[in-house]
Structure 1
Amino acid sequence: MTRPRIRVAAYVIRNRAVPELLVFDHIGMPAAGTQVPAGGVEPDEETEHAVLREVAEETGLSSATVVRRIAVEDKPHPDTGQPRRTTFFFLRDDAGLTFACRFLPLPLRRPLADEQDAWLGHIDPLWTTMPGYRD
């Protein structure tokens, strides 16, 4: 049996009048869909370190902090079918952005690529209790 590729994915939420989720699109690759920061875990790297590294590498955001692990999902890659295991984390960031990512209001109107939004429902109670959240 093939060992799964170990990955992490980040739900970075910031507080505004409506909580927002950090997402991005691959410019020139619209078929890739809207995604959250995610990527591979390096050998001997802790998953919490990996998720912060991936967020920084993919978005430039270095002020995000891990709140907690949300879920671990075993799911094959959508194109290759190769096994992979992704640990989803809830992170928060309330710093201003100066790069070309965007935040979407929650709940999302459309699903993210590769069902990356599948675990968002597991943090709903958490973001509504974060300082600055307004009903």
Structure 2
Amino acid sequence: MEVKRKVLAYITKGTQDDLKLLVFEQKDHPEAGVQVPGGTIEEDELLIDALYREVEEETGIPRDRLELVGKLHKKNHYPKNREDIVYERNIFHLSYMGNSEDAWENHVYSDGKDNGLTFCCRWVPLSQLPDLAGRQDEALDFMDS
């Protein structure tokens, strides 16, 4: 069985009473839905390095502006009609340490499949969070700060 390892980042800012989550939509592919940063862990890549690489690639936020709060969840997903593959999803909580706009666009320049995409990033209060694509919101209840 093939295992595809993935990371997801719940990046928050603000106080507990006004906590906001960073989400994005793909400018040219709105059908992909509202998402949080994440992606595939490359072969021989450390989990934590993949996390920060994906965050910076999709949002433009560098590692030094983020503080790791903790790992929230790990779960395996089995795609329908596939018995030969499993997706391992590792979800982390990061706190944003810096100033930012409420919303911005980040254009991706990379060797990966996201090259050329533009991500429309924004901070959303947790109380107003829309449903996230692909069950990416499955571990939000595990955040305590």
- TM-score tier (shorter): 0.7 to 0.9
Question: What root-mean-square deviation, in Å, do the aligned CA atoms of Structure 1 and Structure 2 show?
Answer: 2.2
Q: Does 1:96 align with 2:99?
A: yes
Query: How far apart, in 1, do the equivalents of 2:129 and 2:96 lie?
Result: 22
Contact 1:14 1:92 in 2 (8 A): yes
Q: Please, what TM-score do these two structures have when normalized by structure 1?
A: 0.82
Pairs aligned (count): 124
AA aligned opposite 1:112: L
* SS at structure 2 position matched to 1:107: helix
AA aligned opposite 2:56: A
Corresponding residue of 1:87: 90
Contact 2:11 2:22 in 1 (8 A): yes
Q: Displacement, 1:31? A: 1.3
Q: Percent identity of the aligned residues?
A: 30
Corresponding residue of 2:70: 68
Structure that is richer in strand per residue: 2
Query: How far apart, in 1, do the equivalents of 2:126 and 2:58 lie?
Result: 21
Moved over 6 A (4+): none
Q: Displacement, 1:67? A: 1.5
Contact 1:48 1:66 in 2 (8 A): no
Q: Which runs of 5+ in 1 are unaligned?
A: 128-135
Q: Does 1:107 align with 2:109?
A: no
Corresponding residue of 2:7: 8
Contact 1:52 1:65 in 2 (8 A): no
Q: Displacement, 1:108? A: 4.2
Query: How far apart, in 2, do the equivalents of 1:107 and 1:48 lie?
Result: 28
